[in-house]
Amino acid sequence: MIEQTRFLGMPLKTQRQRRLLVVLYYAVLVGFGLTGLWIGKGAWGSLVAQTFVFGGLLGGIKLGGPVKAYAYPHFPLDTDTSLRSLNLAGRKPFDTSLPEAWVPLDEREEMQRDIAHYTAYRILRWSFGVLVLAYFVGTGLAPVWLADKTLLLLWLFLLYVLSLPQAVVLWTEPQGPAEEMAEVPATGR
Amino acid sequence: MTGSSYRVFGIPMELQTARRKLVVGVYAVLFMFCVGSIVFARTAPIGYSWTIYATMAAAMLVFGGVGGLGSRYGLIKPFPNKPPRQEPVMVDAIRLQLAPMTAGTPDESSWRNDERELSRRDRAHYRAYPVVAGAFPVVLLLAEVGLKVAQGSLQLAWLTTTTLLQSIFSVALLETVLAMTLPAAIILWNEPDIDLG
């Protein structure tokens, strides 16, 4: 399920490193949020446009992340249609020989993906409840501030929702014996 | 995937067609609740809570799959795969030693999911997740457009801030209903006919 052993310069060979990536990802997300709240909405740009770049950073819902993409990415010109043959859009066809090409998940990976989504769903339900509660409390305490920042807070929650199953995969992927061996020199045991 | 009972309100649910009719029926009722909440949002703003109560009732008493209080009812065994709380054993029965030690313990087959059932549970959540998560980009898009309309940077004759706020409320309400029921509905929809022999 974990496709890369290195991501953005970070090694992902051991469970500890993968968990560190998850922590760092959410720390950066919180950092984005705080910066966004501080700067004001003029600097946000189009949040919808930025969503899938940050939300899909850990993989899963798009190619190129540490977690293998769950499904084959469908592009409009991906099928062998006359439109593609004529190449009217002038784009390069999706090349399956690229390193980012998608390989179907095997049975074990499908199981991991499903379990991760079950766990993420449970976490999401609680998070959603907390969000609604916080919103109700917030409308009583600081309604003007909340109305002003709702969009950014909603965007942060969307990124959280998009990244949650991948974070669960990275967090729960067990430590294999080879990984333990790899960790020995680092920990000095 | 079915719990201790194969019936809902006395109607047998062994057949897939019966379960599919049930799913359609429940969602039709919940959809009516949603429409009612949206239509009467101004005159009866608390009406949406009735939709939430109806959804909770459907999730606990009809579909099942809910842990905690809802673990005794519904067609699907509780997803958390944990035993329901023990029922209090009759004191007289204990005094007379008529009940064995397991008297208050629920039958394991009524709550424990086997490997296949767990796999179905996880797959249903995998399918439901994008649907539930998909509501958030819609809400964000509506909120972004709403902000632009409110600021005056986007002017459309047919689009007002009130319309957008109502749309956000509608999407959020539908999303809440789906989040509470969709995985169980997917299981009930896909599970083949049950042969009780």
How far is A11 from A13, CA to CA, in rounded Å? 6
Chain B: nearest CA to A68, how far in angstroms?
15
Q: What is the pLDDT of residue A112?
A: 92
> Does position A178 have pLDDT exceeding 80, yes or no?
no
Range of the domain at A134: 6-70+105-187
Report the b/e string of A24-57 with b at 16+ CB within 10 A. ebeeebeebbeebeeeeeeebeebeeebeebbbb
Establish if A1 belongs to a structural domain.
no
Domain-located, residue A129 = yes
**Cα dihedral across residues A35, A37, A40, A45: positive or negative:** positive
Residue A149: inside a domain: yes
**Per-residue pLDDT at A133 exceeds 60:** yes
A-B C-beta contacts closer than 8 Å: 62
Mean pLDDT value of segment A3-21? 85
Backbone angles phi and psi of B144, in degrees to 5: -65, -45
As a three-state string, the secondary structure of chain A is: CECCCEECCEECCCHHHHHHHHHHHHHHHHHHHHHHHHHCHHHCCCHHHHHHHHHCCCECCCCCCCECCCCCCCCCCCCCCHHHHHCCCCCCCCCCCCCCCCCCCCHHHHHHHHHHHHHHHHHHHHHHHHHHHHHHHHHHHCHHHHHHHHHHHHHHHHHHHHHHHHHHHHHHCCCCHHHHHHHHHHHCC
Quick check: B142 pLDDT over 70? yes
Kindly state whether residue B197 falls inside one of the protein's structural domains. no
Domain total of chain A: 1
B45 is a domain residue: yes
> Is residue B144 a part of any domain in this protein?
yes
Interface of B with A (CB under 8 A): 79, 119, 121-123, 125-126, 128-129, 132-133, 136-137, 139-141, 143-144, 147, 176, 179-180, 183
Q: Is B75 helix (H, G, I), strand (E, B) or coil?
A: coil
Provide the β-strand partners of residue B7. Answer: B12
Q: Which residue of B has its CA nearest to A55?
A: B137
Kindly determine whether residue B132 and residue A121, on different chains, have CB atoms separated by under 8 Å: yes
Q: Answer yes or no: is A157 within a domain.
A: yes
Are the CB atoms for B183 and B80 separated by under 8 Å?
no
Q: Is A154 inside a domain boundary?
A: yes
Q: Does any domain span residue A92?
A: no
Domain count of chain B? 1
Q: How far apart are CA A89 and CA A71, in angstroms?
A: 24
Strands (E) across chain B are located at: 7-8, 11-12
Task: Tell if the CB–CB gap between B79 and A165 is shorter than 8 Å.
Answer: no
Put residue B193 in one of left, alpha, beta given phi > 0 → left and psi -120 to 50 → alpha: beta
Residue B119 lies in a domain: yes
Question: Does position B4 have pLDDT exceeding 60, yes or no?
Answer: no
Measured at the alpha carbon of residue B32, what is the angle toward residues B30 and B35, in degrees to the nearest 5? 110
Q: Is residue B2 part of a domain?
A: no
Q: Report helix, strand or coil for B105.
A: coil
Tens digits of residue pLDDT in B92-109:
666 666 655 555 566 677
pLDDT of residue B113: 84
- Do the Cβ atoms of B123 and A114 come closer than 8 Å? yes
- Out of A121, A151, A161, closest to residue B183 by CB: A121
The pLDDT score that the predictor gives to residue A188 is 42
| Domain span at B16 | 7-190
Residue A54, token pair as written in the block: 């940050």
- A60, part of any domain: yes
B145 vs A80: which has the higher pLDDT: B145
Does A24 have pLDDT greater than 60? yes
Residues 6+ positions from B34 with CB-CB distance below 8 Å: B51, B170, B173, B174, B177
Residue found under tokens 């469908």: A74
Residue A56's pLDDT band, with cuts at 50, 70 and 90, is confident
Residue A90 lies in a domain: no
B59: tokens are 């999730």
